[in-house]
Amino acid sequence: MKLFVKNIEGSVNEVLLESIFRQFGEIVETKIVYDKITWESKGFGFVTFKKKEDAEKAMVGLDGKELVGKKIIVIEAVEKRF
């Protein structure tokens, strides 16, 4: 299950983000989205868990929690369809 994480402080990288979420279960992928020109963080990213139950625990446990001075928002990611 993939989670959408927003309001990520610009200095947070994938390693730190994964270390925070790993306490809830096995992670398949962690990705922070960066601007293609400046390579600055856009302030959001994705964390994909192997098990849905672990992702749900992470949503409850981390939504609204402070990470490097900013309260992150954690919700289930919705795939865009065009």
Cα dihedral sign, 14-18-21-27: positive
Helix, strand, coil percentages in the chain from 3-state DSSP, rounded to 5: 25, 35, 35
Nearest Cα to Cα of residue 67 among 45, 37, 48, 39: 45
Rounded CA separation 56/10 (Å): 25
Identity of the amino acid at 35: D
CATH of the domain at 14: 3.30.70.330
| pLDDT over 90, % of the chain | 95
Residue 15 lies in domain: 2-64
pLDDT in tens, 32-54: 999 999 999 999 999 999 999 99
Q: How many domains does the chain have?
A: 1
User: Residue 72 domain-assigned?
Assistant: no
